Structure 1
Amino acid sequence: MNKKLIALAVAAAAIAPTAFAAGNEVVLYGQVNVGVEISARPGAEPDQTKISNLSSRIGFKGQEDLGDGLSAFFKIESAVAPDDASRSGFGTREAWVGLKGDWGSVAAGRGKSPYTQATEEFDPFYLDDSLGLTNHGSNDNYRINNAIRFDGAYGPVTYSYANSFGENKGAPAGTRSTNDFSMQAKYAAENFSLVGAYGVFKPKAGKAVKRLLLGGTFTMGDLSLSLAGQHRNDGNDKFTDPLLLVGYSMGDLSLQAGAIFWDKDTMANTKTQGTAGLFYNLSKRTVVTGEYTNSYAGVKGHNTFTLGLNHSF
C-alpha cells in the first residue's frame, strides 16, 4: 500500500510542475560565483587570502496571462553563499508581485531601487560585492523595502520610479517614518546611451539625503567609453563623485578599467579607487574573471586581487 502511495506521489510530482509551468511560465534561474581573493592592506592591518562569494543567487520568476494584454508576474530572488551558508537567506535580494501590460508594469515588494540600477550602468564590477566602482559612493539604500515601483518605456526611452515606505514598527509616538524614493530614465541609441537618476532618502531623524546621477556610454566597434558624475547632498555637506570607465572586447575576452573619485568637493575626504577587470567566456553561461582594485585615501592604498569562476543557469 505504501509503495503504491509513494509511486502515485512521485508521478504527481513529475506531472504537476509541467502543468503548472505551462500555464504560468515559472522559471528557475541563478548564479553561482566564487573567487579567491587576496588583499594587501595598509598599516597594521594583516594581509588576507580567502574564498569569496561573488554575489551568488537563486531565484524564481513567472507570469500568468490574465487576458486583454494584462499579465500578473512575480519574482523571488535569494542570496546564496557557497563559501559560508550562514549568509544565505530566502527572498533576501528581490521579492516582487505585480501587473504588467503595454503601458508598463507596477509592482510591490522589495528589491533594487531605480537609482541603484542606474549606477550599475557604469559598473561592470558589480558582480563582486566589494570591488564595485560606485557601490561605496551613492549614499543610496542598495535595496529598498516596503516599496511600490512603476516601470515603463516610450520609444528608445525606458524609465522607472519607486517609493519605499518606512513601516516605523515599534517606534515611539511622534517618530516619523523613513521614506526613500528614486527614479531613473535611460535613452538608448545604436552607438550611445544616456542615463539620469535622482533619489531622496528621508531618515527618521535628521536631514534628507539627495542624490543625482548623470552619465553616458559611447561605443565604437569593440571599444566603449563611459563618463558619469554623481552629486550627493546630505543636508550638511555636498559631494561630487566623477567616474570614468573604458571597455574593450575581443571575441570571448573583454577588458574593463575604470576609476572613481569620491567626495571631490571636500578634499579632506577625497578617495580614489581604480579597478581593472578581465572576463573570459568559457561558454554562454560560464565566465572566468580576474579583477584588481586599488583604493587610495591620502595614505598607502588597499590592494585587492580576485580570480573567480561564475556560472549562470
Structure 2
Amino acid sequence: MTQDPPYRSPMFNLGVSAMKKSLIALAAVAASGAALAQSSVTLYGVADVAVGYQTKNNDSQARAFASEALNNGTSRLGFRGVEDLGNGLKASFNFEQAVNLANGSASSGYARAAWVALSGDFGSIRAGRSTSPANHARGAWEVLGDPNYSVVANQFGYAGSGSRNDAQLLYITPSFGGFTGQAAYIFEDNRDGNNAKYELALIYKNGPLAAAINYADADDVNGSGTDANGLDLGVSYDFGSFKVAGSYHDGTFYERSGFSGQDYKGFSLGASVPFGAFSLGLEVAYEDKSDTTDAVVEAKYALSKRTFVYGVYGYNEKSTGKNGLNARPSDWGKDNFGLGIRHNF
C-alpha cells in the first residue's frame, strides 16, 4: 500500500525557496568578501594646533599656529590604499592634503602626496609627488622625529632642497639586514626649464642603531648656470634611557625660497630622554657659511598612543649671518614659544 506524500503547504514551499535564495546570497557575499579582503582603502590624518609667541622681523606675534613652524606637524587628511595583485605583487596609492586648523582652509589639491606604486619582492616603484629620499633618510635618525620646528631642516633643508619632489620616480629596495636603498629621478621636462634632478639614499635601521646618508644633484638651477647638490649624513643610537644623534651637511641650496644658490656646511647634535609618557628633547644645529646656531627644546606628554601635548622653544640666532648670507627661513622668528596638541587618526 502506497502512502501519500506528506502534505506541504504553499507557505512551506515559499520558505524553502527563500532559504535557497538566502544561501545563494550568502555565498555571493562570502565570495565578494574574499575579493574585498585583497583590497583596502584607509582614511587617515593629523590634527595639530598650537598657541604661541614669536619674535619675527622686529615684530612680536602671539596667536594660534596651525600647519606652521611652531607646530609639531602639519594637519592633513589623506587616503591610502593597497590591492593584492597576486604572486607577491601589490598596487598602492596615496593622496594627502594639508589642512589649516586655524581657519579650516586646505591646500590647493593634494600637494603633500599624490602617487601610485607597485611593490613586490623586488622592492617598490613609486611615481608621482611624494617625499624624497632625503626626507626618508632624515626620519631614520633625527631624535625629535623631524617636526615642523626641526632646526636641522631649518638650517640645512633636505639635502639643500625641500622634503618632497613633484613627478618623482622613486625606487626603494627591499631590506637587506637592515639596509635599504632609495633612488629618485625627476625628468627635466617636469622641472619648469631646470635640468633633471636625482637623489640617492642609503638607510640602515637595526635595533638601537640608525644611520643614513643621502645625496641630491640638480644642474643649472633656475637657468642660473649654478649646479647645486647636497649631502646629508646622520646617525643615532638609542641607549634605552636616552637617545643621541648627530649629523653632517654640505652642499648648495636649490628650490628653497630665499636660499637658492647659497652654499651651506655644518652639523647638528641632538638628544632625547623618555620618562614614561613624558619625553624631553634637544637639538642644536650650526651652519658655518652664515656662522649661525639654532636650537630647539621640546617637551611631549602622551595622553594616548595617538594623542600628545607638546611644548617647544625654538631659538634662531639671526636672519642674516656672515657675509650677508640668509640664515633663517621667512616663517621663523628669533625666539619662538609654543604649546600645542596633536592627534593622529
**TM-score with structure 1 length normalisation?**
0.83
8 Å Cα contact 2:79-2:96 kept in structure 1:
yes
SS at the partner of 1:81?
A: coil
Residue of structure 2 equivalent to 1:249: 274
Counterparts of 1:125 and 1:66, CA distance in 2? 33
Q: Which has the larger radius of gyration?
A: 2
In the superposition, relative to structure 1, how do residues 304 and 125 fare at CA in structure 2: closer, same or farther (>3 Å)?
farther
Aligned residue for 2:135, secondary structure, equals helix
Cα distance in structure 2, aligned partners of 1:230 and 1:148: 24
Cα distance change of structure 1 residues 164 and 123 upon mapping to structure 2, 3 Å threshold = farther
CA distance in 1, matches of 2:97, 2:197: 22
* Paired position in structure 1 for 2:65: 52
Deviation at 1:239, TM superposition (A): 2.5
8 Å contact kept, 1:123–1:134: no
**Residues 247-299 of structure 1, C-alpha deviation per residue, up to 9 Å, x if partnerless?**
1111111111010012x1x3xx2221000001110001111011100111369
Tell me which protein shows more strand as a share of its residues. 1
Shift in Å, 1:88: 2.8
1:296 aligned residue (302, 312, 317)? 317
- Aligned partners of 1:160 and 1:184 also within 8 Å: yes
1:80 counterpart = 2:78:
no
Match of 1:216 in 2: 235
1:124 counterpart = 2:156: no
Q: 1:168 to 1:252 in 2, by over 3 A?
A: closer
What secondary structure, in the 3-state scheme, does the structure 1 residue paired with 2:138 have? helix
Q: TM-score, normalised by structure 2?
A: 0.76
Tell me the amino acid that sits aligned with residue 242 of structure 1.
F
Q: Residues of 1 paired with 2:250 and 2:277: CA distance?
A: 36
Q: Which residue, out of 247, 267, 282, partners 1:228? A: 247
Count of residue correspondences: 283
Amino acid at match of 2:39: N
Partner of 2:153: 135
Looking at structure 1, the residues matched to 293 and 230 of structure 2 have their Cα atoms a distance apart, in angstroms, of 19
Quote the sequence identity (%).
27
Distance in 1 between residues matched to 2:146 and 2:108, nearest whole Å: 20
**Match of residue 240, structure 1, among 262, 265, 271:** 265
The alignment partner of 2:146 has SS state of helix
**Matching of residue 283 in structure 1 with residue 304 in structure 2:** yes
Aligned residue for 1:308?
Answer: 340
Taking the aligned partners of 2:54 and 2:120, their CA distance within structure 1 comes to: 48
Shift in CA distance, 168/103, structure 1 to aligned 2, threshold 3 Å: closer
**Residue identity opposite 1:260 in structure 2:** A
Structure 1 position 192, deviation (Å): 1.5
Which blocks of at least 5 consecutive residues in structure 2 are unaligned?
Answer: 1-28, 255-260, 323-332
Aligned to 2:206: 189
**C-alpha distance in 1, partners of 2:262/2:167?**
29
SS at match of 1:126: coil
SS at the partner of 2:150?
coil
The question of whether the paired residues in 1 share the 8 Å contact of 2:143 and 2:244 is answered with no
Structure with the greater relative contact order (CA < 8 A, sep ≥ 6): 1 or 2? 2
Distance in 2, matches of 1:222 and 1:102, equals 37
Shift of 1:238: 4.2
**Which consecutive residues of structure 1, in runs of 5 or more, have no partner in the other structure?**
1-14
Tell me the residue number matched to 1:179. 196
Q: Let me know the Cα RMSD of the aligned residues.
A: 2.4
CA contact (8 A) 2:44 2:78 kept: yes
Q: Which residue of 1 aligns with 2:127?
A: 108
Question: Equivalent residue of 1:167, what SS?
Answer: helix
135-144 or 273-282: bigger deviation: 135-144
CA change 1:123–1:92 in 2 (3 A) is farther
* Cα contact 2:186–2:196 (8 A) shared by 1: yes
